[in-house]
Amino acid sequence: MTYAVELQRTPSSGEPVFNQSTGSFTESDSPAREMVLLCLRTQKGACLVDPDLGVDWRALRKVTSGLPATARDYLTTALSRYVRAGVIANLAIATEYNATVQGLVFTVTFTDPRLGRTLAIPGRF
């Protein structure tokens, strides 16, 4: 049973995914996943309706030491609103500096309680 319908969106831009073979937009497998992705791609303070939405990516650019730990704290803070609201559960964030990409790579893992599935979202900064 579907609890909500949300279009699947491209993680980086937020554009809806169009399925050429069916001629329609693709539904997301988890609306909670789309909410987390929206939060991750939004700079904190950029949404005038909800200034607390998003991650403070600008502040992270200034961090020189301890970037993985600081980024984990920022991501946890940004996504905690969804944990408190019961939209997601079992939030886990793994961060590390990757010399190959010369930046931070992270994985946000959580459970969508309504679907009973664990989802993982990789990213880099």
In tens digits, the chain (125 residues) has pLDDT values of: 455 566 667 666 667 777 788 887 777 778 888 889 989 999 999 989 999 999 999 988 877 778 899 999 999 999 999 999 999 999 999 999 888 888 889 999 999 998 899 999 998 88
Q: For position 7, what pLDDT does the model report?
A: 62
Q: Tell me the C-alpha to C-alpha distance, in Å, between residue 29 and each of 15, 91, 115, 117.
A: 16, 18, 9, 10
- Residue 67 and residue 61: Cα distance in Å, rounded? 9
**pTM of this structure:** 0.81
- Residue 70 and residue 90: Cα distance in Å, rounded? 20
Q: For position 16, what pLDDT does the model report?
A: 75
- Residue 32 and residue 119: Cα distance in Å, rounded? 10
